[in-house]
Structure 1
Amino acid sequence: MALQWLILSYVVAAEVVIALVLTLPYPMLVKKRVVSLVSLILQPAASIVAFAGFQLLDIYWKAEHRLSCSSEVCTATERDRYEKSIYKAQRNVVLCTGAVLLYWCIYRICKYNKDLEVLEEAEKRYKEE
């Protein structure tokens, strides 16, 4: 289970780097190349949305079926273990949500840049006429 979260954290880190690269100011030719490269990566990377969704469902299921340790019967170590699992689940929810939101941001940035490129080409055509 820890390997899944490690992979998801690496994917989120890669998405952050890609989002930063897309938002840096470049000359137009370099910007077009970077956007086209990232656009090619976006379709296969869409599987991260399904993976994060599955992980969220897993967290929800475990939260619903977790034994609560709030009574006087629980020992201090059991209570600490319970609280640690709650904190880990909250961290993992933030990680999954971040993965989906970053993917969406990268998609929208690429779409806006492509739309801008199409509009610039249309403007060139109208100026030539």
Structure 2
Amino acid sequence: MALQWMLLAYTVAVEAAIAILLTVPSPKLLKKRFVSLISLILQPALFVVPFAGFQILDIYWKNEHRLMCTSEICTAAERDRYEKSIYKAQRNVILCVAACLLYWCIYRVCKYNKEIESLEEVEKRYKEQ
């Protein structure tokens, strides 16, 4: 299980870095090439959305079937372990949501940049006429 979360954490880190690089002002030619490169990577990187969705379903199922440790019978160690598992589940849900949200943001930024580029080409053609 830890390998799945590590993979998702690295994916979120890479998505965050790409989102930052896409939104940082840069020369037009460099931005155009970077957007086209990221656009090529976007379709294969779509795996992150169903993967994160599956992980959220897994967290939900485990939460529904988790043994509650809220009574007086539980020891301090059991209660700590229960609270730690709740915190891990919350962290992992935030990780899954961040992965999906960052993917969507990268997709929209690339799409907006391509639309701006096509509008600039149309404007250039009108100015030539």
Normalised by the size of structure 2, how large is the TM-score?
0.99
What is the match of residue 41 of structure 1? 41
Letter of the 1:95 counterpart: L
RMSD (Å), alpha carbons:
0.5
User: SS state of the match for residue 26, structure 1?
Assistant: coil
| Structure 2: runs of 5 or more not aligned | none
Deviation at 1:26, TM superposition (A): 1.1
Corresponding position: 1:81 with 2:81: yes
Q: Per-residue displacement from partner, 1:23-74 (whole Å, max 9, x unpaired)?
A: 1111111110000000000000000001000000000000000010000111
What is the CA–CA distance in structure 2 between the aligned matches of 1:92 and 1:24, rounded to whole Å? Answer: 28
What is the CA–CA distance in structure 1 between the aligned matches of 2:70 and 2:26, rounded to whole Å? Answer: 56
User: SS state of the match for residue 46, structure 1?
Assistant: helix
Identity %: 73
What is the match of residue 61 of structure 2? 61
What is the match of residue 92 of structure 1? 92
What is the CA–CA distance in structure 2 between the aligned matches of 1:94 and 1:29, rounded to whole Å? Answer: 35
User: SS state of the match for residue 43, structure 2?
Assistant: helix
Q: Which runs of 4 or more aligned residues in structure 1 lie more than 2 Å from their structure 2 counterparts after TM superposition? A: none
State how 1:1-129 maps to structure 2 within 5 Å: 1-129=1-129
User: SS state of the match for residue 35, structure 1?
Assistant: helix
What is the CA–CA distance in structure 2 between the aligned matches of 1:24 and 1:38, rounded to whole Å? Answer: 14
| Structure 1: runs of 5 or more not aligned | none
Normalised by the size of structure 1, how large is the TM-score?
0.99
Deviation at 1:11, TM superposition (A): 0.3
